[in-house]
Amino acid sequence: MSAHPFRADDVDVTPEAVQDRGDEVQLVDVREPYEWEAGRIEGARHVELERLASQADTLDRDRPVVLYCRLGARSGMAATAFRRAGFDSYSMVGGLERWAAEGRPLTPEDGTVAPH
């Protein structure tokens, strides 16, 4: 897996860390609706990337925000922007593809990672 151009060690968090933190974080899926429908992480909130800025006020600033997409580029850009806006935000490195490749569960039970 090649690194995306928006990768930053201070913003990226592994799928393992996301799973370990569970309810401590706000997990936000920034993918398109068809991607969300194909498969997602249980407990995640869906906010399309293009609507994320307008939904920022609906997120709890007192809890870390972990954003994810298919590979990590879209969520990396979003996490960096949210950091600049004062959020404790992160991007799940490798995105949902890495999550699934590591054998972590998707919802629905027969969920898949849709192509972008």
pTM, two decimal places = 0.91
Taking residues 108-116, what's their average pLDDT?
A: 94
The structural domains of the chain, with segments of one domain joined by +, span 12-101
Helix (H/G/I), strand (E/B), else coil: 29: strand
Active site residues: 69
Separation between Cα atoms, residue 13 and residue 79, nearest integer Å: 11
Helix (H/G/I), strand (E/B), else coil: 92: strand
Mean pLDDT rounded to a whole number for the chain: 92
Model confidence pLDDT, tens digit, residues 19-65: 999 889 999 999 999 999 999 999 999 999 999 999 999 999 999 99
Domain 12-101 sits in CATH at 3.40.250.10
pLDDT at 1: 36
Residue whose token pair is 């968090």: 13
Q: Within the chain, where are the H helices?
A: 15-21, 33-38, 49-55, 73-84, 95-101
pLDDT at 3: 46
Helix (H/G/I), strand (E/B), else coil: 116: coil
pLDDT at 5: 44
Q: Is the pLDDT of residue 116 over 90?
A: no
